[in-house]
Structure 1
Amino acid sequence: MMKRLIAVMVLLCAGPSALAVEPPRDFVPPPPSMIPNFREQSRDVVIELGTYAKKRNPAFQVLMRGGSELLVKGEQEMDWDDLHDPTGTNFMKRLPLRSVFRPLVKVLDGIVMDGLYCGPYAFDNKPLDEVLKARRDLDLELDAEKKRGIHRPPVAVEMGPFSNDPAEELRKYNDLKQKQARAEIQRRETYALDAIRSEGRNVLAIEMCDKPADRDAAYKGAIRDRVTPFAKIGTGPLDETPRAHPAFENAKEILTVANARNWLPVLRSDRFGTKGKFVEAIAETNYDIVLVDVAHRSAELLVKADISRLKFKKLGPRRLVIAVMPLGRAYDWRWYWQKGWEVGNPAFLYALDEGPGTYITDMGSGEWRGLLGKYLGGIMDLGFDGVMFDDVGTYQWFEELMPLGG
């Protein structure tokens, strides 16, 4: 019985799984000492791109969706430091646990988070200020205990009760595992939220709610928490025809993310018909920020005239038009795709992802980074007011593919 309890505890303490696809064919994991810091690779890409954008146009708005662990140093990077510096030669140069990576925060105007108010990882409509304070207080308590030689996990691990019925025991184990994964994801998000807000940056939310009452509660909670919300009913792609009169509609001119009260992300425009109909549908709204792809139906690139048309609300005042830009994935339907590309050719196409025509990319590849630089330059040339870096969290896939523990 004791062995079984220990095994369950080990599984529960493990982080949530991110490995959604098979590893590349003939993949041989490198020795732990040769495993890159995948978070650092992703962080460096965002910093490099954001620095370029801000240097070229200081008013250009930069957002990042996902990648919570990139903002604050967590246990994974502490373990990486220990593995690559076992004697502690560079110990004094290391950032301590839970340090904020300020060079990253510096290039961001805000982060986009999914499911703060609706979904499996929502904070149960608790005020974010209370959630963040509770996490800070608990961390202070854990740090004090650690100094006394008491090592308590950052997320509580529940044990039992277990049953003599194997089916019932498996069900309870799965329930505990899901509860543990939820608590761990929420913990990581609290660190990101605390870091970004403490540095005076902004939080935008995408909420996919089950029913209208949940959507209304999400909007109410977001305003309470000083979060800029977008909420819809149901899951699925962000491709719906927008409401002409958004929540918190206003006639103010919006030139920064900080001043926005609402926003509209439309990542797929297939449902709108022609490009002209798509541009017209968005132009006939009063959202403070609109987020769109650079190409209608992923093929027909928007032009400067289209962007200019979108920059004004139906009421007349100026608003922000932001482009989505995936970093950690490549898509065979995007403008840059070339005939003959496949996994391994070019080398930055690391593995097939779950979605059709979707590939995990190697963020450490200079060739991929060069393509991303051209991508961002093109976005700025078209006259967009900002960019949202998407698909940032693929470092989690690499971390599970190549665990530090071997």
Structure 2
Amino acid sequence: MNSVRIPLFILCCLLFLCQENTAQDSSNIINYRQQMRNLVIEISEKAKAENANFLVIPQNGIELILNNAKLPALDYLKAIDAVGQEDLFYGYPEFNKPTPGPDNIYLQKHLAIAKNHGKEVLVTDYCDTPAKISHSYNLNKVKDFISFTAIRRELDIIPNHPIFNENEADINHISKAKNFLYLLNYADYLSKEDLIAEIAFTNYDLIILDLFFHKETFTAEEIQKLKKKQNGGERLVIAYMSIGEAEEYRYYWQDSWNKKSPNWLVEENPHWSGNFKVKYWNRDWKELIYRNKNSYLNKIVNAGFDGVYLDIIDAFQYFEAKD
């Protein structure tokens, strides 16, 4: 029988794909933290190749700034421009409750390392009484963190209290931002125009938004409008993107997955209906997130956002707990 010789290059490609999708699925050889670092680094490289000034900001999972030897993970730190942290002073484990001292100290220790490596820190606390809101802002100011106090966990309201550290400066770099708005849920807005008009009437230095308004993406023209503060100054507009969970209300979700899910889709988050844990190191998931022309990241870049706010970075904790 004549044998067929496979060119070495093709063989290497096949081996790479096999390793990425099968060998890595063996839990005893996966470094879940490094796999998440890798994904963030790959997203950063892809986005910054299109726009060198594009901002990459992972939220939570702050442990990733240190490697297994508890030393700074320099490749990861080089790939990101800031870190986001929820519940630093208020909101964990309950809304409107102070975060317990040991948890706060743990987070502050890691955030300080990020800060020492030149990364800005964006904190979102969750509370709604005037005294706690003021306390949250003041505590973050002492640490030189940029903060936003959300009065609802759903992130569906622009607070009616004055903007803390409001200023008229043009914000052309994240280091110049003094405040930000985090707004993801648009259920109370009847139209995209209403939402844009309300945001345009504010003076926030930086805005974190969802790319989609009722499944319709913002256009580059609309994002450009949002980059102007009411006082005439320029600001940054950042897009939210979950990379540790798949969301069944996103454009990429296929109806067939409800009957037979792909092997990288794991289980539904019991706290957030319609959100599913994913094997984020899987090639097919990466295709959806950043590797093809219709990817989530490409939609964000093409819409003219100044950066991306990466959520569910701490998905590695779920898989570590399963082992």
TM-score by length of 2: 0.84
* Matched ranges for 1:4-403 at <5 A: 34-73=28-67, 77=68, 96=69, 98-120=70-92, 183=102, 185-186=103-104, 188-233=106-151, 235-243=152-160, 245-297=162-214, 299-342=215-258, 345-354=261-270, 355-373=272-290, 374-402=295-323
Would the aligned equivalents of 1:330 and 1:360 in 2 still touch at CA under 8 Å?
A: yes
1:398, CA displacement in angstroms? 0.7
Would the aligned equivalents of 1:267 and 1:292 in 2 still touch at CA under 8 Å?
A: yes
Q: Unaligned 5+ residue runs, structure 2?
A: 1-24
AA paired with 1:239? D
The Cα offsets for residues 230-283 of structure 1, whole Å up to 9 and x where unpaired, read as: 0133x4211103448422111110011111000000011111221111111111
**Cα RMSD for the two superposed structures:** 2.2
Larger Rg: 1
- Provide the secondary structure at the position in 1 that maps to 2:256: coil
The Cα offsets for residues 170-216 of structure 1, whole Å up to 9 and x where unpaired, read as: xxxxxxxx97xx63x44542442132111111001101125211110
Measure the CA separation in 1 of the matches of 2:260 and 2:243. Answer: 17
Query: Percent of aligned positions with the same letter in both sequences?
Result: 29
CA gap of 1:333–1:31, structure 2 versus 1, over 3 A, is closer
Would the aligned equivalents of 1:42 and 1:395 in 2 still touch at CA under 8 Å?
A: yes
Would the aligned equivalents of 2:146 and 2:179 in 1 still touch at CA under 8 Å?
A: yes
- Provide the secondary structure at the position in 1 that maps to 2:188: helix
Q: Which has the higher contact order (CA 8 A, sep 6+)?
A: 1
AA paired with 1:379? I
Measure the CA separation in 1 of the matches of 2:254 and 2:301. Answer: 23
- Provide the secondary structure at the position in 2 that maps to 1:265: strand
- Provide the secondary structure at the position in 2 that maps to 1:272: coil
Measure the CA separation in 1 of the matches of 2:153 and 2:140. Answer: 21
Measure the CA separation in 1 of the matches of 2:259 and 2:119. Answer: 38
Measure the CA separation in 2 of the matches of 1:261 and 1:31. Answer: 45
Would the aligned equivalents of 1:291 and 1:322 in 2 still touch at CA under 8 Å?
A: yes
AA paired with 1:370? E
Measure the CA separation in 1 of the matches of 2:274 and 2:42. Answer: 27
AA paired with 2:318? W
* Runs of 4+ residues deviating >6 angstroms: none
Measure the CA separation in 1 of the matches of 2:209 and 2:52. Answer: 21
- Provide the secondary structure at the position in 2 that maps to 1:206: strand
Would the aligned equivalents of 2:88 and 2:104 in 1 still touch at CA under 8 Å?
A: no
CA gap of 1:260–1:188, structure 2 versus 1, over 3 A, is same
Measure the CA separation in 2 of the matches of 1:399 and 1:232. Answer: 30
AA paired with 2:89? Y
- Provide the secondary structure at the position in 2 that maps to 1:291: strand
CA gap of 1:56–1:31, structure 2 versus 1, over 3 A, is closer
Would the aligned equivalents of 1:68 and 1:189 in 2 still touch at CA under 8 Å?
A: yes
Q: Unaligned 5+ residue runs, structure 1?
A: 1-29, 78-95, 123-177
Measure the CA separation in 2 of the matches of 1:250 and 1:203. Answer: 19
Deviates more, 1:360-369 or 1:51-60: 51-60
Measure the CA separation in 1 of the matches of 2:180 and 2:26. Answer: 45
